Amino acid sequence: MDAVEALEQLGGIARSADIVALSSRRRLRTAVSNEAIVHVDRDRYALPVTDLGRRLAVEHNLHLTHLSAALHHGWEVRTSPSVPHLLLPSGQKRPTSAARFWTYDARREDLDGWSTGPLLTVMLCARDLPFAAALTVADSALRHGSVTHEELVTAGRAWRGGDTQQVERVAAHANALSANAFESGLRAITAAAGLEFVPQYEVHVGTLTVHPDLVDPINGIILEADSWGFHADKETHDRDCQRYTMLASDGWIVLRFTYDQVMLQPEYVLRCIEMALSQRAAAA
């Protein structure tokens, strides 16, 4: 897999080891040399739009917001923005730079350097972005310890302006246990449909204890965000096959979805889940 594609799958910002696991060290070096990927902080790499956003924020005396702010904070996102996202105070003239401008009058205490602060970043994403994209940002913020779930829920209930119902829903569903943007995307499909799947729920099968990506313990259904890059060696592949076989033998329905299916074919993913639920209902 190309290093840029690998970085996209990892949420737009990642460590070199994670990129290499999906691609290769040679491809990463080539992408950095060609400036298709930039080194942003210690062992963290991102797409060029992240670095461009910082320069535009300084140039126009504005602040990064939404997905650009999320990447600035080191959070993984569902899809990296094609242009920087900048916060534009109401009444201020819009610059001619190639960027996406979002209007909001932020208080000084809600800002963090050249970016919106962590809590405001999540709230604005929840206000303006599709549910799956916003939930991925909220999950990432919790996973990195930038905000707490209590802070999100409190802020969501107090939020005024825009789709307040979605802001509250994103805050309520946010969960630090989603390991990456891929898993957040899969959980967003279930949450949007009103289905309850628990991330990293502990399952015991004989002497084996596993924590699948998403679990419906009531109906006995497991959802896995299945990335081939993490099964590259024989030992990992053997262990994954053993885990799947033992779960299936114990009566669990295990559905495995690829990155492209989750990101590009959510209707297919939901249809498969609903078929599994219907099967359980018929058996009952």
Question: Strands 100-103, 85-88: parallel, antiparallel or unpaired by DSSP?
Answer: parallel
d(CA 83, CA 50): 9
Q: What is the mean pLDDT of residues 109-137?
A: 97
Q: Quick check: helix, strand or coil at residue 78?
A: coil
**Rg (the chain; Cα; Å):** 20
Q: Look up tokens 């917001």; give the residue.
A: 65
283 neighbors 219 (Cβ within 8 angstroms)? no
d(CA 203, CA 247): 9
CA angle 121, 126, 132 (to 5 degrees): 115
Task: Output the CA torsion 177→182→186→189 (10° steps).
Answer: 110
Q: What is the mean pLDDT of residues 185-210?
A: 94
pLDDT attached to residue 247: 92
d(CA 241, CA 162): 46
Q: What percent of the chain stands above pLDDT 70?
A: 98
Q: How confident is the model at residue 262 (pLDDT cuts 50, 70, 90)?
A: very high
Strands in the chain per DSSP E: 13-15, 38-41, 44-46, 63-64, 85-88, 100-103, 111-112, 115-116, 198-199, 203-205, 208-210, 214-216, 221-225, 253-257
Structural domains of the chain, with CATH: 1-45 (no CATH), 47-176 (no CATH), 183-283 (3.40.960.10)
pLDDT attached to residue 149: 97
Q: For 2-30, how does the pLDDT look when each residue is reduced to its tens digit (9 = 90+)? A: 999 999 999 999 999 999 988 999 999 99
pLDDT attached to residue 227: 72
d(CA 206, CA 158): 46
Residue among 148, 145, 111, 141 nearest 126 (CA): 141
Q: What percent of the chain stands above pLDDT 90?
A: 79
Whole-number Cα distances in Å, 226 to 201, 244, 263: 17, 12, 12
- Between residues 255 and 283, which one has the greater pLDDT? 255
d(CA 138, CA 172): 10
Q: For 225-237, how does the pLDDT look when each residue is reduced to its tens digit (9 = 90+)? A: 987 655 456 777 7
End-to-end C-alpha distance for the chain, whole angstroms: 44
Mean pLDDT of the chain: 92
pLDDT attached to residue 236: 76
d(CA 260, CA 23): 16
pLDDT attached to residue 229: 55
Taking 90 as the threshold, does the pLDDT of residue 88 lie above it? yes
Report which residue type is found at 251.
G
Q: For 147-183, how does the pLDDT look when each residue is reduced to its tens digit (9 = 90+)? A: 999 999 999 999 988 779 999 999 999 999 999 999 9
pLDDT attached to residue 110: 96
Question: Strands 208-210, 115-116: parallel, antiparallel or unpaired by DSSP?
Answer: unpaired
Q: How confident is the model at residue 65 (pLDDT cuts 50, 70, 90)?
A: very high
Q: Look up tokens 């246990």; give the residue.
A: 177
Taking 90 as the threshold, does the pLDDT of residue 68 lie above it? yes
